[in-house]
Amino acid sequence: MKKITIGEASRKSGVKVPTIRYYESIGLLAEPNRSEGNQRSYEPADLRRLAFIRHARELGFEVEAIRTLLTLQDDPHQSCASADAIAKARLIEVEQRIRSLMALKAELELMVEGCGHGRVDQCRVIEVLADHGQCSHAHHSRWNEIGRLQGA
């Protein structure tokens, strides 16, 4: 069998080399065989797993969710209810986040449009930031709701 180096795996999967090692360290990816000189040697299945992980990360799934999805994938006879639940939860997150960002967009547009490019004391950007009362009120309660949740 042809040995796939970590660099090749990286190029083929689109996951950076240190990130692959990181995934191994947190147990998302099994420890691969090593060459004579202690270098990692991957197989096609590892590339598929990496692609799966990468795609899930692109879709904003957290590593813990991906871990669950991977164990599901490993045993195809299980019910896919968990996978479905994870995807649905992610969908709801994304929808909330879109709503939140739309409100922010409106807010920012107001600020930018209102800026007369004069001095700071007439600047609507600074003014609106200083006085929350001038907001469209669309985002007032939303922030705490979704918090600092990350993801694309």
Partner DNA sequence: TCTTGCACCTCTAGTCGCTAGAGGATGTAG
Partner DNA sequence: CTACATCCTCTAGCGACTAGAGGTGCAAGA
- Within residues 21-80, the interface with DNA by CB under 7 A covers 21-22, 35-40, 57, 62-64
Shortest spacing between CB 3 and its own copies, in angstroms: 24
**Looking at beta carbons only, is 36 or 120 nearer to its own copies?**
120
Residue 130 exposure: Cα atoms within 13 Å on the Cβ side: 8
Compute the C-alpha angle 22/44/42, nearest 5°: 45
Helix (H, G, I), strand (E, B) or coil at 4: strand
Is residue 17 near DNA by the rule CB under 7 A?
yes
Cα dihedral 144, 146, 150, 152 sign? negative
Shortest spacing between CB 44 and DNA, in angstroms: 16
Q: Phi first, then psi: give them for residue 42, nearest 5 degrees.
A: -95, 165
Please report, for residues 47, 94, 139, the alpha-carbon distance to residue 10 in angstroms, rounded to integers and kept in the order given. Answer: 9, 28, 40
Shortest spacing between CB 59 and DNA, in angstroms: 12
Output 115-118 pairs: Cβ under 8 A, ≥24 positions apart: none
Binding piece for DNA, criterion CB under 7 A, among 13-21, 43-51, 101-109, 127-135: 13-21
Is residue 19 near DNA by the rule CB under 7 A?
yes
**Looking at beta carbons only, is 36 or 131 nearer to its own copies?**
131
**Looking at beta carbons only, is 34 or 45 nearer to its own copies?**
45
**Which residues contact DNA by CB under 7 A?**
5-8, 10, 16-19, 21-22, 35-40, 57, 62-64, 148, 150
